[in-house]
Structure 1
């Protein structure tokens, strides 16, 4: 499965801290959760995930600001951060990780294919990372999973 080694490393880092993770996915549509649960013993650190593909679910389930969505649409770095904060709160996790973006085949709201925003949230801070990836729809989605796992690992390593 895509990202299984980084996923195992992430579980180990979370376990070392006695911490848990929840994910909110849009662009990746469940691939990030699949990579995380592919690791034996994942239940010790993985709380669960929400696939909020529809824009209204980002607001209704995850608490993303409706005004932000109305002005900027779902593909925005602040949306990713708010998704991570929302899933962390919703699922009672120590950390939240989120993906949103455009996998293709066409641009969305003027944003080109390959635009990706990752959000993370922890007990004391939250942030984002933005990428412009290339390739097929599947490649972009899989590269996003790897990037999200690396982002969270990097944050935990600080």
Structure 2
């Protein structure tokens, strides 16, 4: 493990602890709906002891079929906008909250690489949404690096945004 891996791990632990404090103080539950991160956000959250006090469930909906079946993302959204889009992640987080009963959540869908990118959505493009069944905020970022680097950066941003969402509520 390199020094940067240790620093990143420490930052993720700090973010997870902040998330836990915010959820417990507000008595809110959390869910995750992940595609390109493959459960990395849920894993990072549950690395912290006591996460069962607020973490409801995590969905890894890698395929479009799973996004529709488990989260209720309309097929028309996927057909028109694609999996890596504002519309999809907003529907994912709303669906995850609705299906799990969680108060708030985060959704992530992106192109981690090394293939799969396009001119419109190059490798490293990741869409995020934070919110509830009723209200969501979405953001698109572009990360550099290999598949692992893109996924790690996405987990970090997902947690940061979730903490920010909760602290602003």
Q: Which category of TM-score, normalised to the shorter sequence, fits these structures?
A: over 0.9
Aligned to 1:134: 144
Equivalent residue pairs, number: 158
Q: Which runs of 4+ in 1 moved over 4 A?
A: none
Alignment match of 2:56 (pick from 15, 37, 47)? 47
The separation in 2 between residues aligned to 1:71 and 1:108, in whole angstroms, is: 17
The separation in 1 between residues aligned to 2:105 and 2:91, in whole angstroms, is: 10
Structure with the larger helix share: 2
- Cα deviations across residues 9-59 of structure 1 (Å, max 9, x unaligned)? 111111110000010110100111100000010000100101000111111
Larger Rg: 1 or 2?
A: 2
Aligned to 1:70: 79
Q: Which ranges of structure 1 fall in alignment gaps of 5 or more residues?
A: none
* Pairs within 5 Å for 1:8-157: 8-108=17-117, 110-122=120-132, 124-157=134-167
- The alpha carbon displacement at 1:124 in A equals 4.6
Scaled by the length of structure 1, what TM-score is found? 0.95
The separation in 1 between residues aligned to 2:121 and 2:139, in whole angstroms, is: 16
